[in-house]
Amino acid sequence: MKMAPIRLPPRPKKFSGRSQVVLVLFVSAVVVLTMYGAVFRQQLPDEVIPHASTTVETVGGASLVTPTPLLLSATMSPPIQSSRINGVILFLAGGRWDAYFHKECLPRLEKYFLRCHEKEYPVHIFHENMASAQQAAIAALIPSARAVDFENVAAVWKTLPRGVREDTLAEWMQTGLQRKFQGRGYRIMCRFWAGIVWRLPSLQRYDYYWRLDTDSILTGPPLVDPFVTMQQRQCDYGFNRLKGENPHVAVGLWETFQDWAKSTGSTNSQWFQSVKRFAVSPVNQQYWAPMYYNNFELGSMRLKRHKLYDDWFEFVDSKEPFGIFRHRWGDAPLHTLGVMAVIAAEKWHVCNFSKTDVGYRHAATKPGPIVEISCNSTTAAGS
């Protein structure tokens, strides 16, 4: 088959020396702005906060249109030097992922993050009556941590909130679809992470936390230090993924949030309307149960200890329908509503950590080998 001849465009007229300089400067400026814009946009997909209103924030000389509250990329501007940050890495140990925690999770945390931030960050591990030998084995896996603290929270698993009896809970868990979902221990775990943990005196000394689950793994050295990023970007919450919860375990959750807001006279407040735009679809006016995945999350202690957040948890924990136990409300959608209420009320910022910023997987059955890295590289330093 014959191909048509390629017709070249006519040769452009020559520019004067001054015109060439102006043209080069103009093209360079366009390229730089385009690159910055691409970085911003790739970190801020439309689906991150689908139904929130938008604001324009000027960052690094470029206009950045972001959902409200302001959502920032973890890598959108060059890092600056910072003094030691008062952050802690949190785990709740125990259960079927214990072997994975020892074999995959902790060795990767040590190799890819802690070793490159020698003695900077402590690790705080909650547990139920963990043996001293197991505690020593865990501490030996993360020698670069500034400290490895263990806190026995077994008493939390022995108690139910006032108004919930053991026989009533057993009946709830055998009603309808609830038979398909997790049992007593899991529901108490949801209660623990939703609110109880943030009231513990042991965490009062810290400014930031990074929560990981025992089946959470780093896939490589982070491009950024998440704690430094939170401080530099002035973010009070950091997340990796946002999606909708299974509606069968979010029954009545939005109605309860509305009841709480009504009880405080806040249904006409700016923060409630902002959360409503975030949580209710404009298409069908239904609650879509958004949840920040909290097997990887960062936050400030002032957020989780904020009166608004604590009041929301107290309302859920002490009043009908006792949804954590009756409907198996997870801590993810629960704390998402509380986080967004505080963020909207205080006009604080949220950081979106992409998988490029911090490589991470949850419950990976084939995590692959742990590779050697150099902490002298920019990617390993993460600062």
**pLDDT on residue 34:** 39
In the chain, domain spans: 87-91+159-381
pLDDT digits (tens, 9 = 90+) for 162-207: 999 999 999 999 998 898 899 999 999 999 999 999 999 999 999 9
pLDDT of residue 179: 87
Q: To which H or E segment does residue 54 belong?
A: strand 54-59
Amino acid, single-letter form, for residue 46: D
**pLDDT of the residue at 365:** 82
The per-residue pLDDT for 220 is 92
Rg (CA), the chain: 24
Instruction: Check residue 373 and give its pLDDT.
Output: 87
Give tens-digit pLDDT for 201-236: 999 999 999 999 999 999 999 999 999 999 999 999
What per-residue confidence (pLDDT) applies to 184? Answer: 96
Tell me the one-letter amino acid at 33.
L
Fold of 87-91+159-381: Spore Coat Polysaccharide Biosynthesis Protein SpsA; Chain A (3.90.550)
CA distance 64 to 39: 11
Token output for 274: 């902002």
Q: What is the mean pLDDT of each run of 10 residues along the chain (383 residues)?
A: 39 47 43 34 30 29 32 43 81 92 97 95 97 97 98 97 97 91 95 98 98 95 95 96 95 98 97 98 96 96 98 98 97 98 98 92 87 67 38
Tokens read off for 348: 């604080």
Which stretches of 173-234 are DSSP H helices? 184-194, 226-232
